[in-house]
Amino acid sequence: MSEKEKMLNLQLYDANHAPELIKERTFAKELCYDYNHLRPSQRAERKQLLQKLLGKTKDNYTITAPFWCNYGYNIELGENFYANYNLVILDGAKVTFGDNVFVTPNCGFYTAGHPLDYERRNAGLGYAYPITVGDNVWIGGGVQVMPGVTIGSNVVIGGGSVVTKDIPDNCVAVGNPCKVIRPITEADKTRSYDRL
């Protein structure tokens, strides 16, 4: 089994010495570099580069530069996806965003991790577990989402959170580690601003 096959099958793999993965990461980094150096007015060129890089998109999506990812082909964007500055996606495994997802600045989605024992970690072994984000999700500034996490639909993740476990539908979650603090209710439809 190749290192890429191991990566895609949730097994420990060696990304540092796998020519195929090195080549794919270099390709993605080159496209990200080109994307990040386009002028904001070059909308058609920006969309063309993202379509070349990303695994799946719908019609309406925006990623504000700078943006970095490992492979690109494991990223799937739903309709009306918006990401603000400094988005990082380490996509050794699938990262799937539903429709109407808003990601604020300085957020990271990390499918990649390493063993806790230093021998395997120092040998360069790692793993990649998928991340899934549902529909109608707002990710606050500086949020970091860890490997294997699923965030449900109709969710707000408060700024600065580190999401290490699954978050259910219809709630506000915040903290390090991120935890549900309350449901989203009908009363939230009448508020213009809430400090959570």
Enter the tokens of residue 46. 């920006």
H helix runs in 15-117, sequence order: 19-36, 43-53
Using DSSP bridges, classify how beta strands 150-151 and 178-183 pair: parallel, antiparallel or unpaired. Answer: unpaired
Residue pair 29/12 in contact (Cβ under 8 Å)? The answer is: no
**Catalytically annotated residue among 4, 29, 114, 179:** 114
Q: Which of 186, 177, 83 is nearest to 137 (CA)?
A: 83
Work out the number of other CB atoms within 10 angstroms of the CB of residue 131. Answer: 26
Is 114 annotated in the active site?
yes
Provide the annotated active-site residues: 114
